[in-house]
Each structure stands twice: as structure tokens, then as C-alpha cells.
Amino acid sequence: MTMRKPVTLLLLFASFAVSRAGVLPDDRADILYHLYDGGGVEIDGPSVLVRKQVGKNVSVVGNYYVDMVSSASIDVVTTASPYSEEREQWSLGFDYLHGNTTMTAGYTSSTESDFDARTYSFSVSQDMFGDLTTLTLSYALGDDVVGRSDDATFSRDNTRQHYGVGLTQILTRNLIATLNFETITDEGFLNNPYRSVRYADPSSGTGYSFEPELYPATRTSNAIGMRARYFLPYRAAVQAEYRFFTDTWGIDSHTAALTYVHPIGPWTFRAKYRWHDQSSADFYNDLFPRPEATNFRGRDKELSTLTSQSLKFDASYEFLQDGWHFIDKGSINASVDFLMVDYHDFSDLTAGAVVGSEPLYQLDANVYQIFVSFWY
């Protein structure tokens, strides 16, 4: 249940089309190993991507991705037992180039023991104004089936729809910028079937008890994101980005990031600082005053007020720059992200303090990636 958001990888299909609508993406293969380690959770696995042009106008991309989860998170240790599970995801996409227009279609299937997700996506990109501007319209439809590992008869459906408009603009010979709107609607069973909320209970030895969470059956979110990348005079680049998010659950957030890219010979080094701050969902409460206190109830720490910061360091080394047989070039990349999350309204119950006076929870996690890429 930890990292199931399969639609994210649709970016694999859309990313190149957005700003290079008149050009098919490069043929390439990537083999990546990822490891997330923090807050009692360890998630690792491979991601393999292969992209190949077929004929003059079509490019095909496939991706295989695995999350192997071992979780003893703060949620798990306070209300359940540690668990292990695996999520497997397959994706297949096609780009069709016609003049200055690129059409992209994709399909993603994600499977785990208690959750299945299928997503269908489609986008159209058009180059305009002498290829200075690229406009992209995108749509994705997701069908999820939520189960329970302890109840074979439990099955609930979700439907997700994504509507996106993206604009990439060359502003000067040194500056490129993008602007994106995205509306996402969900309808169905949106809460976690295992997670509980906490309520005050004087009859309990701890002063509180738990009951199942209950979310609204719909959610609509709107996000606007912008980013700009500037070429510095000594061949380096700096990127600034910002996103505003708001949804019908009452969450508003601001996200900003600054990236610096510096090449030295075959090496490229990147450093990135990212900051995210959000308000809580209207139905979130760390400690409800009584059982069934409100119509909807949630205590998912990701729906709490929080401030998240991360620092990333990334290095890549390019090899085979003169090519070798059918390979044009290769690169090896390694990165680490240090993620720090301060929850402003989520108590750490493992501290064993008196109810209402527990310390707030903090999460530190490290995210490692190492991958090899080949262009051919």
C-alpha cells in the first residue's frame, strides 16, 4: 500500500513529446536500481526502460518496474504488524509523429496482492511559432481495484481521470520554460482499507483507541506548475520550479525547487534543493474527540499539515562517446536524495507519552538510484 501511484510513470511516455513534438524521442535503454530507506520502510527494485523507433514515424517504449516493500512504518507499528509485499508494473507506449504533431498512447498495468491498477493515456503535442512553442493536451483514465489481504471477498473500485495542458516555450537562446495545468478526479474507494484513525477513549489504558478511517468517495485536484532553465555563460545550467496545488479535500500546497547542473569533461554533476509545504485535509485529525466524531475521518500522515525538504546530489559519467558496434554512447549515473519531513499535526505514538502530549513525528529517508543508460 505504500507506493502505489502507477500513473506517475506515464511521464515516461509524455516527457519527450512535450517539448520536442516535431522529433521522435531518442532510442535508448535504461536499467535502474532504486532504494528508498527511511521511517522503518525499505523499498527497492529495478526499473528497466527500452525505447526504439520503428519506421520513420513511430517510437515504441516499454517499462518494467518493481517495488519490493518491507514495512514497519509508524502507521504499521502503532496499529498493525510489519509486512512485506511486492508491486509489479508494466507499461507500453507509442509515439506517432506527423509533421509537427506527436500523438502518444500508453497503457500501464500495476499488480500487487491487494491492489490492481490499469491506466490508459493519450496525448497530442503540437509545435508552433517556428518550433519555439510546444502545446500538449493529455488525458489519462485509471481503473483501480482495491482488495484486502485478510479478506478475499473485499473488492472496491476507483476511477481516476487526468486532464492536462502543457506549454513549453523557448524564451531566449539561453532560456526555456514550461507551464502545466493538471486536473485529476477520483471517484470510488479512496481510503486505505487497513489504516485507522485515533480517538480519545478514557476507558482505554493509553487514553485512546482506533477505528477505521473513512474518506469521501470523490476527490478533485488542480495543480499548476512552472519551471525555467537557464544556460549560464560558462556552460552550466540552473533551473527554478514552482507548483501550486489545491484539492476538494482542503489541501493546498506550495512546492519549489532549485537545480544546478555542472558538466566537467565526461562527468555531469547536479545538485537540487526542493521544498514542499501543505495544509491538511479537512477531515484529518490526529486525535478525534470521540468515535465517529465526523462524517469523514482520516489520520494518514500524508494528509496532515507538513513541510518536506530534500537535497539531491547526482553524478553521471558518459562513456563510449565514439560509439561501439550499434551503441552510440552510454552513461552511468548515481544519485542520493536526503528527504526530511516535519509533520505539524501527526503525533509519534511510539514515544509512549501521555495522550495529547506526544511529540510530533519526523521522517528522515534516503533515496538511492543507480542506473546505466545506452543510446543506439
Partner 1 sequence: MQDNTILRLLTAALLLAALPACGGIEPWVKPYERDRLADPIMFLDANPVSSAYIQHVYEAREGARGGEGSAGGGCGCN
> Between residues 27 and 247, which has the closer beta carbon with respect to partner 1?
247
Minimum separation from the CB atom of position 279 to partner 1 (A)? 9
Element (DSSP H or E) covering residue 226: strand 218-232
Site for partner 1 in 242-271 (CB under 8 A): 243-245, 247, 251, 253, 255, 261, 263, 268
Q: For 180, phi and psi rounded to 5 degrees?
A: -135, 135
Q: How many CA atoms lie within 13 A of 211 on its CB side?
A: 17
Which of 80, 141, 145, 223 is the binder for partner 1 (CB under 8 A)? 223
State how beta strands 58-71 and 267-278 pair: unpaired
C-alpha distances out from residue 36 to 48, 68, 101, 181, Å: 17, 10, 38, 29
Number of residues that this document lists for the chain: 376
Which residue stretch of 7-15, 70-78, 196-204, 319-327 sits at the interface with partner 1 (rule: CB under 8 A)?
7-15
Contact string (CB under 8 A) for partner 1, positions 96-135, x = contact: ------------------------------xxxxxxx-xx
What is the Cα–Cα distance from 285 to 189, expressed in whole angstroms? 20
Closest by CA position to 151, among listed 185, 181, 194: 194
Paired residues of 301 in beta bridges: none
> Between residues 78 and 373, which has the closer beta carbon with respect to partner 1?
373
One-letter amino acid of 333: N
Which of 56, 98, 173, 325 is the binder for partner 1 (CB under 8 A)? 173
Residue linked to cell 512552472: 226
> Between residues 315 and 353, which has the closer beta carbon with respect to partner 1?
315
> Between residues 201 and 329, which has the closer beta carbon with respect to partner 1?
329
> Between residues 124 and 200, which has the closer beta carbon with respect to partner 1?
124
* 287 three-state secondary structure: coil
Site for partner 1 in 276-335 (CB under 8 A): 276, 278, 280-281, 302-303, 306, 308, 312, 333, 335
Which residue stretch of 147-155, 173-181, 192-200, 349-357 sits at the interface with partner 1 (rule: CB under 8 A)?
173-181
What percentage of the chain's residues is helix, strand, coil (to nearest 5)?
5, 65, 25
Minimum separation from the CB atom of position 143 to partner 1 (A)? 17
Element (DSSP H or E) covering residue 79: helix 74-79
* 181 in contact with partner 1 (CB under 8 A): yes
> Between residues 285 and 308, which has the closer beta carbon with respect to partner 1?
308
Minimum separation from the CB atom of position 135 to partner 1 (A)? 6
Closest by CA position to 193, among listed 144, 156, 219: 156
Which residue stretch of 52-60, 75-83, 156-164, 199-207 sits at the interface with partner 1 (rule: CB under 8 A)?
156-164
C-alpha distances out from residue 170 to 20, 97, 103, 361, 367, Å: 11, 21, 21, 43, 33
What the block records as the C-alpha cell of 38 is 527511511
Closest by CA position to 217, among listed 247, 187, 193: 187
Which residue stretch of 144-152, 169-177, 190-198, 320-328 sits at the interface with partner 1 (rule: CB under 8 A)?
169-177
Minimum separation from the CB atom of position 276 to partner 1 (A)? 6
Minimum separation from the CB atom of position 313 to partner 1 (A)? 13
> Between residues 9 and 349, which has the closer beta carbon with respect to partner 1?
9
Contact string (CB under 8 A) for partner 1, positions 8-47, x = contact: xxxxx-xxxxxxxxxx------x-x-x-x----------x
